[in-house]
């Protein structure tokens, strides 16, 4: 899923690897029960969209979802900083809690 020009694609690859474990996937879906759409813009102004389904499928895919529960739009660097815990703030804490669901269930 690595996409040239998007540092955030590495984060989504890591999430994809984590949810490949069926037990972890089922526990995470039960705990999170939401569909997230991430609209990420890189430094060149190009946009990439990822959908993280933690409601039914337990999957991450490129592209839009018809009815996401939560849509987040941000720049690539900010997303990477949030995912790595280097950016503080309410949204950072929110996303870290989502990310932690993959590793602490």
Cα-Cα-Cα-Cα torsion 83, 8, 91, 105, nearest 10 degrees, comes to: -50
Tell me the chain's radius of gyration from C-alpha atoms. Answer: 13
* 4-45 pLDDT tens trace: 899 999 999 988 888 888 988 898 899 889 999 999 999 999
* 53-80 pLDDT tens trace: 999 999 999 999 999 999 989 999 988 8
Question: Do the beta carbons of residue 60 and residue 28 sit within 8 Å?
Answer: no
Question: Do the beta carbons of residue 18 and residue 52 sit within 8 Å?
Answer: no
Domains identified in the chain and CATH numbers: 8-104 (3.30.1050.10)
Residue 93: predicted pLDDT:
58
């Amino acid at each position: 899923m690595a996409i040239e020009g998007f540092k955030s694609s590495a984060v989504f690859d890591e999430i994809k690897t984590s949810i490949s474990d069926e037990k972890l996937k089922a526990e995470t879906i039960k705990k999170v029960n939401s569909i997230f759409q991430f609209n990420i813009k890189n430094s060149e102004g190009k946009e990439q969209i990822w959908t993280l389904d933690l409601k039914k499928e337990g999957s991450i895919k490129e592209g839009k979802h018809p009815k996401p529960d939560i849509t987040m739009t941000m720049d690539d660097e900010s997303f990477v900083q949030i995912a790595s815990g280097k950016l503080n703030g309410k949204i950072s804490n929110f996303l870290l809690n989502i990310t932690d669901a993959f590793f602490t269930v």
